[in-house]
Chains A and B, each alone.
Chain A
Amino acid sequence: MKRLTLSALLVLSASSSGVADAQLAAFDRTKPPALGPTPPLTVPNVVSRRLANGPALRVVEHRELPLVQVTLTIAGGGRLDNEQPGLTSFVANLLDEGAGTRDANGLQSELAFLGASLSTSASWDFTTVSLKVARRNLEAALDLMADVVLRPTFAAAEVRRQRDLRLAGILQQKDQPNVLAGLAINQAIFPVGHPYRRALGGDSASTAPLDSATVRQAYEGSIRPERATFYVVGDLAAADAERLLGARFGKWTARGPERRPAPVLVNAVRAPGNQVIFVDKPGAAQSVVVIGAPGVERTSADFAAIDVMNTILGGSFSSRLNTVLRETKGYTYGASTGFTWRPLPGPFTASSSVRTNVTDSSLVEFFKELRAIREAPVSAEELARAKAYLTLAIPGDLEGVSQIAGQLTSLAAWNLTLDELRAYVENVEKVTVADVQRVAQRYIPADNAFIVVVGDLNQVRGGVEALRLGTATIRTVADLTSERRPQ
Chain B
Amino acid sequence: MAQAAPLRVPVVVDTLPNGLVLIIHEDRSVPVVTTNVWYHVGSGDEKLGRTGFAHLFEHLMFMGSKNAPYPQFDRLLEAAGANNNGSTTTDRTNYYESGPASALPLMLWLEADRLGWMLETMDKDKVDLQRDVVKNERRQSYENQPYGMAFENLAAAIYPKGHPYSWSTIGSMADLSAASLEDVKEFFKTYYAPNNASIVVAGAVNPDSVKALARQMFSEIPRGPAITRSAAPAPFTLRDTVFVLEDRVQLPRLYLAWHTVKEFSPDDAALDIASYVLAGARNSRLTQALVFEKEVATNASAFNSSKRVDGDFQIQVTARPGFRLDSLQRLVDAELNRLAAGGPTARELDQAKNAIEASFLNRLEFSGNKADQLNAYYYATGTPDFFQQDLDRYRKVTAADVQRVVRQYLLAGRVTMSIVPQGKPELAATRRVVQ
Contact = CB atoms under 8 A, between A and B. Distances in A.
Contacts of B342: none
Given A20-B102, A32-B76, A115-B355, 16 more contacts: A32-B68, A35-B103, A36-B102, A64-B29, A67-B362, A108-B281, A109-B282, A109-B283, A136-B2, A165-B291, A168-B298, A171-B250, A318-B78, A332-B136, A394-B81, A396-B99
A316 B78 contact: yes
15 contacts: A16-B103, A17-B101, A19-B104, A36-B102, A115-B361, A168-B251, A168-B320, A284-B248, A285-B144, A332-B133, A353-B140, A354-B136, A389-B81, A393-B99, A395-B100
A15 B104 CA distance: 14
A34 B213 CA distance: 13
Interface stretch (A174-182, A193-201, A245-253, A466-474): A174-182
B17 interface: no
Q: Give the interface residue-count category, chain B.
A: 35 or more
Contacts of A412: none
B361 A104 contact: no
B144 A19 contact: no
A15 B32 CA distance: 8
Interface in B229-250: 248-250
Given A2-B86, A104-B282, A132 B354 contact: no
A395 B320 CA distance: 44
Contacts of B80: 35, 388, 392
B295 A161 contact: yes
Given A14-B100, A353-B140, A112 B105 contact: no
A175 B113 contact: no
Contacts of B350: 113
B101 A19 contact: yes
B31 interface: yes
Nearest to B109: A33
A168 B248 CA distance: 16
Interface stretch (B203-211, B267-275, B409-417): B203-211
Contacts of B209: 18-19, 21, 24
B30 A105 contact: no
Contacts of A113: 347, 350-351, 354
Interface string B336-364: 00000000000100110011011001101
A459 interface: no
B366 interface: yes
B354 A389 contact: no
Contacts of A31: 67
A175 B249 contact: yes
B283 A33 contact: no
A5 interface: yes
A172 B85 contact: no
A395 B31 contact: yes
Nearest to B58: A2
Contacts of B86: 1-2
B367 interface: yes
Most buried by A among B67, B80, B87, B132: B80
B281 A109 contact: yes
A286 interface: yes
Contacts of B113: 29
A421 to B, nearest CB: 13
Interface residues of A, number: 92
Contact of B81 (A23, A65, A168, A395): A395
A23 B213 contact: yes
Nearest to B87: A1
Given A16-B102, A395-B99, A171 B321 contact: yes
B344 to A, nearest CB: 13
Contacts of A191: none
Given A108-B282, A284-B144, A18 B109 contact: no
B186 interface: no
Nearest to B26: A18
Q: Which 8 residue pairs spanning A and B have beta carbons closest together?
A: A392-B81, A115-B358, A330-B132, A36-B102, A400-B365, A108-B282, A175-B146, A33-B105
A24 B128 CA distance: 38
A115 B146 CA distance: 33
B121 interface: no
A427 interface: no
Interface string A1-12: 111010000000
Interface in B173-222: 204-206, 209-210, 212-213, 216, 220
Given A24-B212, A392-B80, A286 B29 contact: no
Contacts of B291: 165
Interface in B342-399: 347, 350-351, 354-355, 357-358, 361-362, 364-368
B147 to A, nearest CB: 8
Contacts of A288: 144
A112 B216 contact: no
Contact of B31 (A17, A20, A109, A174): A17
A354 B140 CA distance: 8
Contact of B139 (A175, A283, A353, A399): A353
Interface in B127-150: 128-129, 132-133, 135-137, 139-141, 143-146
B5 interface: yes
Contacts of B205: 18-19
Interface in A382-400: 384-385, 388-389, 391-396, 398-400
B74 interface: yes
A112 B351 contact: yes
Contacts of B351: 109, 112-113
Contact of A401 (B103, B139, B365): B365
A326 interface: yes
A18 B204 contact: yes
A463 B150 CA distance: 32
Nearest to B116: A29
B13 to A, nearest CB: 18
A396 B98 contact: yes
Nearest to A117: B358
